[in-house]
Structure 1
Amino acid sequence: MKILVLTPYAPWPPYGGGTMRIYQLLRGIAHTHSVTCLTFVTNITDQVAVQAQVAPVTVIGVAGPAKRNLRQRALQTLTNPLPDMALRNVDVSYRQQLEALLQQRYFDVVIAFSIEMAPYLDVVKTYGIPTLFDEFNAEYVIQQRAAMTDARNPMRWHGALYSLIQWQKLKYFEKNMLATVNGVTAVSTGDAQTLSQLVPTVKPYVVPNGVDTSYFDRRRVVPHPFVRPTLVFSGTMDYRPNIDALRWFVAQVLPLVRKAVPEVVLVAVGRRPSPALLALQAAGEVSLTGEVADTRAYLCGAHAYVVPMRIGGGVRLKVLEAMALEVPIVSTSLGVEGIDGLNDTHCKVADTPAAMAAAIVATLANPPATKPTRDFVVANYDWRVIVPRFLQAIANTANVN
């Protein structure tokens, strides 16, 4: 088949979970189909670099989108009926390039990744091409959780108000958008059920996030030589759920751990640390690495990998990576949400500060066997297992007419 893929950002380099998902699925389907990717790039040099990494996928880059400042976003939150995410990638040049592609070439199916690309679905619909929409998350649920979390902290009421507005906008937007496409993929059974409840006629295919278990294999890694007992957290450090997770962990959990293990240290691995996290580092609460060339060494050197998430959804690739690397994991329920088949042999789950601290202290004192965790991920969450599910969803969507 000839497939056109619309992505909100270039599929390389894989800085975050969304980029990695797009990259792996693109490469996977390109083995058996002719794939064109229309994406955003910074400049032509970026397009050449991306093309080299995702070949044989054909990459067509559009410069942009234009960045909105905080004032513009705040004004649009109050005056525009569309949710913030749906406005993020609105770009005239991208729309024109999409229309030109659809006029000049034949495609059997169009795949749109993430809600940022939903504003372009109307263009595809005018050409009558079957469309598969890949939902990274049930987005309105993330904002619902964020609103409820921030509402408990008077210092975060401005965030709660923003999320309350976005929650309502996203729920309405997702409901209407999902009803217009021919197929939907979700990253977990839970997300699929949530989307079906929102639109009963929609029955999403479950195509989980995955991990390259041949790359994330501790036998191929020289662990970072941490001397003191070290807890590691990873992710993009200006992402709101990650900021919330670290701030909560430092304030509520880490002091309890230090009572039992005074020498313990917390290391956060990831790019673009926010001012709030830089302040925590200045106070001696956490060590921020910034962007690193290879996260595997830090994860393999960790005595425990912590996932204190309170906001978010979907399936977190970073958890699957830690599992594949056989790192002991302590997480909130939300942190490992969506990983079907997970049980207490794979990680410790705790949702209160006291319970999480106790689980961490127990892990440091008596590290669990982690080989079963890797075996579980290899069997269920390697991309080689997941890509065939995506291919089936594409085939079913292309045949809807």
Structure 2
Amino acid sequence: MNKKILYIAPKIPFPPTDGHTKSMYGFIKSTFQLGYLNDLVCYTQNKKHQEELNKVCNPFYLEVETQNNIVDVIKNFFSRVPYNLAKYKRKELIKFLENHLKNNEYDFIVIFNSHMGWIVDYLKAKTKSKIILREENLELSIMEKFYQNQKNIFLKIYSWIQYKKFIKYEPALCEKFDACLMISNQDKEKLLTYSKNVNAIVVNSGIDENLLKLKKINVDKYSIFHIGSLNWYPNLDGLMWFLDKIFPKIISKEPRSKLFIYGSRLPENILLKNEIKNHVVNVGFVENLWNEIKDKQIAIVPLRIGSGIRIKILELLASSNIVVTTSLGAEGIGLTNKKNILIADDANMFAGEILKLFNDKYEIEEMIELSKNYIEQNYSWNVIAKKIETELNNLI
């Protein structure tokens, strides 16, 4: 008899257009291909992708809005739960499970991210399933970097308070699960410094194997591009650092340079410096990203805040791109600087690596081939699926 999994997610995992949805959808699809029967319950305001999700799971949708609310932010000062997690604690989920679990039994319940982890106590009282937390980020690490980078004194104090809540809450939450599937060794080791009582296991995320077939065509040597939703603060922070501190240095040395911004457009209230504004192409969302970037030369991931691994770096390397990023951006992937990726944390060094690429100081084709091979061997979903199956079997 096929084993059954109930997935609980903070948002609909389709379409897979960002790191979060790609990781969730890839995990669900992998277990379906392994022969598991999957049910999914998620918060969403958008049900139009039900037909696609039906191919890999049986989805249930709860109409729940999780936007920030200033009143709730103020009330959260008196709560031990960090606000970013507390806003996901909703009675709609309890009501759904109350009825659903009367008629359905599962071998495993997989909860995506600590945002939905609050439901673990209820589940332990109602089921005999093995309950797993899939941690795509260690949230306390993100909040730590966020407060450290704040210039606004009020935001810095608020985010420091939130960080202290995360330190107490998140590790204690993880202890309650039969297993916590961490996305990188770095996240696992950091979590274990806060609690040795967590059954933390590393299961990476993966990439669509079709990306490995992509090649570059008619490349514009002096083109740079950035991919990512600018609604997610770490992406915006990194891009603004690049625009403010790095890109002017590049333009001064190589005025043929152009930066293309994909994913979402820069907010209208951001004014670019005069020396770079004619060198920035604010593209935004495109239907076929891979077709758009096939003639672009250098991908940048100037990340300064984050946790887990950057799925977009895995995808960029798989699809024949050269990537310049920070140590944080490359963290957890296992890449080697100057072999299959370029890493720089200082603005001068970051600009310098891009200029070296412009001036043919690296064997670009060799780097691309090495990075594609590495990603295929370590991060294709076929490889990850075998790891998932092993760990699920170990829990029984």
| TM norm structure 2 | 0.91
- Partner in structure 2 of residue 198 of structure 1: 194
Q: In the alignment, does 2:382 pair up with 1:384?
A: yes
- What percent of counterpart residues are identical? 22
**RMSD across aligned positions (CA):** 2.1
2:61 alignment partner in structure 1 = 61
1:333 offset after TM fit, Å?
0.6
Which of 310, 314, 330 is 1:336 aligned to? 330
CA apart distance, 1:30: 1.1
Q: Distance in 1 between matches of 2:331 and 2:314?
A: 12
Matching residue of 2:244: 251
Tell whether the 8 Å contact from 1:39 to 1:62 is kept in structure 2 after alignment: yes
Match of 1:210 in 2: 206
The reply to whether residue 179 of structure 1 matches residue 172 of structure 2 is no
The number of residue pairs the alignment matches comes to 386
Change (3 A) 1:68 1:306: closer
User: For the structure 1 residues 364 and 81, does the alpha-carbon distance in structure 2 shift closer, same or farther, using more than 3 Å as the test?
Assistant: same
- Who is 1:28 aligned against? 30
Q: CA offsets per residue over residues 198-234 of structure 1, 9 Å max, x none?
A: 2102232111122113135324x7x5x7757211111
Note if 1:235 corresponds to 2:228: yes
Determine whether 1:39 maps to 2:42: yes
**Matched residue of 2:189: which SS?**
helix
1:167 is aligned to 2:166: no
Matched residue, 1:6:
8
Counterpart of 1:106 in structure 2 is 105
Shift of 1:148: 1.3
Deviations 1:46-69 (A, max 9, x none): 3xx234345141111111235343
Describe the shift of the 1:392–1:162 C-alpha distance in structure 2 as closer, same or farther (beyond 3 A): farther
CA deviations 1:274-332 (Å, max 9, x no partner) are: 455x5449955632222211221233222111111111111101101110111111111
3-state SS in 1 of match to 2:250 = helix
Q: Find the aligned partners of 2:370 and 2:345 in 1 and give their Cα distance.
A: 23
CA contact (8 A) 1:271 1:291 kept: yes
Give the equivalent residue in structure 2 for 1:313: 307
Q: Contact 2:257–2:279 at 8 Å: present in 1 too?
A: no
The answer to whether 1:302 aligns with 2:296 is yes
Cα offset for 1:387?
Answer: 1.5
Counterpart of 2:284 in 1: which secondary structure?
A: coil
Letter in 2 for 1:99: E
Is residue 78 of structure 2 the alignment partner of residue 79 of structure 1?
A: yes
Query: C-alpha separation between the residues in 2 aligned to 1:56 and 1:269?
Result: 29
Aligned to 1:293: 287
Give CA deviations for 1:20-53 in whole Å, capped at 9, x if unaligned: 111011011012111111112325x43xx23434
Residues in 1 aligned to 2:11 and 2:176: alpha-carbon distance in whole angstroms: 23
Cα pair 1:144 1:167 within 8 Å, conserved: yes
CA distance in 2, matches of 1:246, 1:183: 35
CA distance in 1, matches of 2:272, 2:291: 23
- For the residues of structure 2 that align with 1:72 and 1:131, how far apart are their CA atoms? 33
TM-score (norm 1): 0.90
Of residues 336, 348, 359, the one that matches 2:342 is 348
* Distance in 1 of aligned mates of 2:338 and 2:221: 26
